[in-house]
Amino acid sequence: MPIKDIDDLHVSLIEAAETERRLPPARRKQKMASWPDYPLDWHGYGWTQAGEVMLRPTADQIDSLDYLFGLVVAMDEEDRRIIWAAAHSAAFRHRGPQWTKITKILGLNDPRMVKRQYKDALIKLWYRL
């Protein structure tokens, strides 16, 4: 996907975070016992409320993720942390990043500061393109 402006860069970063979450885990889960997993509520033996199925990312999505990784890794650490925290908090959400949650994770005081730092980091990344 060609990146034309900063809004496209923001959308591309969120899509990259979604792609990263869709990738399989690095380690395979090991079986600890021969008992199958079962829900621990009173619906345990009937129909269960299964969550959404995560589809595997396509080759184009993985290529885009790899390209954006190369761009973001070249940034300084503080900008990189803010960009990936915002992208991962906005992944699979319609309302955008959770600025107060990112503020707590980064140990800062004001969500407006985090949002401003995120915009500054996006502008730096845009000029790096």
Tell me which DSSP letter residue 68 carries. H
Task: Give pLDDT, residue 26.
Answer: 79
Please check the confidence at residue 63 and state whether its pLDDT lies above 80: yes
The predicted-structure confidence for 9-23, as pLDDT tens digits, reads as follows 999 999 999 999 999
- pLDDT at position 52, please? 64
Instruction: Give the pLDDT confidence score for residue 1 in this predicted structure.
Output: 60
For residues 60 and 56, give the distance between their C-alpha atoms in angstroms, rounded to a whole number.
12
pLDDT band for 31, please (50, 70, 90 cuts): low
Average pLDDT of the chain to the nearest whole number: 86
Q: Tokens for 43, please give them.
A: 């619906």
This prediction's pTM: 0.79
Nearest to 78 by CA among 112, 125, 17, 110: 125
Q: Which pLDDT does position 64 carry in this prediction?
A: 94
Instruction: Point out the least confidently predicted range of 33-42, 55-64, 103-112, 114-123.
Output: 33-42
CB 49 within 8 A of CB 74: no
Instruction: List, for residues 37-62, the tens digit of each pLDDT value.
Output: 666 666 655 555 566 677 889 999 99
